[in-house]
Chains A and B, each alone.
Chain A
Amino acid sequence: MKLADIVEELQLTVKTGAGLLDREVTGGYVSDLMSDVMANANEGVLWVTLQIHQNIVAVAVMKSLAGIVLINGREPEPATVQKAETEGIPILVSGMPAFELVGRLFALGISGS
């Protein structure tokens, strides 16, 4: 499934990387610890988190993630937005809490394995 489809299905707000939504999402990963994502997330997954610090972008680049979804309507910090645009990382925002969002993603066929 492409990022654009997920954006449309779950009505996500696109904060950065509007031109990169044709990326294929290979799976999902949820974590608020960056060290955990660095250690365990697979390439191409969509990362669900509440972290808004600019380090999320570096982690996403390092692990070649498809993109980041912020939950609870969280606003990325200005430095995060800037870095994401430079590095080409889509940041999407959902008004839903993580549990709900991940359930919807799973229902769309995005799996964690």
Chain B
Amino acid sequence: MAVGLTEELGGAPIPGPVVTTSVPRRGRRVQLPRSPKILAGLGMMVFFLFIAVLGPTLAPQNPSASASTTGSLPLPPSAAHWLGTTQQQQDVFSQLLTGGRSTVLVAFVAGLLATALSVLIGVTAGFAAGRTDDLLSMLANFFLVMPALPLLIVIFGFLPSSGGSDDALIGAIIAITGWAWGARVLRAQTLSLRNRDYVESARLIGERGWRIISFEIMPNLIPIIASSFLFTVLYGVGTYTALAFLGLVNPNHWSWGAMFFFAQVSNAELSGYWWWYIPPGLAVALLGTSLALLNFGIDEFINPRLRVAGLSRRQAKRERTLAPPRRFVLGLTPVIRPPGAANGRAGTAGQPPGEAARTGTVPAGRHWGIRGRGRR
């Protein structure tokens, strides 16, 4: 399938519109497309990681301290308070810098744990097949149809009122509700890989199960694992922010969601205190956007057709001067190869994508129900 594409092309990199000079490594050359999407996503991600690590130290003021005790109205942005103040005269900018750490930490803990769970369960289910597969698939399907936020609200609702302020614990609870989608995609891919000839031959040679999984199957799952990690981190950001916004985790533990909680309590949206809720909202949305952009990049890596479609207009215009004009015609995707990169095997030779990974779509006919085996 899609992930095995590099394999089928005899190890040659898939020629794409954006081909950088590739450094030959031993045997196989892996090349990530350097599209503007990936670069933008990476840049934003580095920025947010920087805020998560250094933000609390950089904050000019204590996020919980009131700058003055006389005022009772939030102050708009000024030189003293770059992003204004809250109703309690706390500095919004400092809260924003401080809140990043907890938000990013919870999201990454949730992403790591959920991905580990999904690899464990998904790959096992796909490789073991039979009764084990049926049971694990059932479990994954159950978590998939269960509405996550109501479940989390009930769980946190029964926690003692002080709520959790332990980032690792919150991340772990969120991970429980977030692993199923990754497991489902990984299982489907493992299932399609386990009957490949090279896996079959490894089995005939007498390699053990764990060795086949870790050396033959796992390397081909890496793009999907990476994509499912990004997806669950994205999910973790959204879910943690929502839980904090609802006041279900200790709101005095600063996070972007907690800022929203206080803004909501003081009706910031009704009074037009935009400087209070727009910064944390934008921060969450941009963090999510950077994760999604990285995920797009992985998608384009897996499925070359999306890459061609993602060609920017400026680039197309630039190349039009070199080559005859191309148009996207229904039924045909033109493949753009820079001169020299072509080695005869074009991107359109690719099979349909295994999973349009980011969107969680499953191709028709491989609908994965409780009947277990997805093979047809």
Q: Do these two chains really belong together in a complex?
A: no
A contact residues vs B (CB 8 Å cutoff): none
- Using a CB–CB cutoff of 8 Å, the interface residues on chain B facing chain A are none
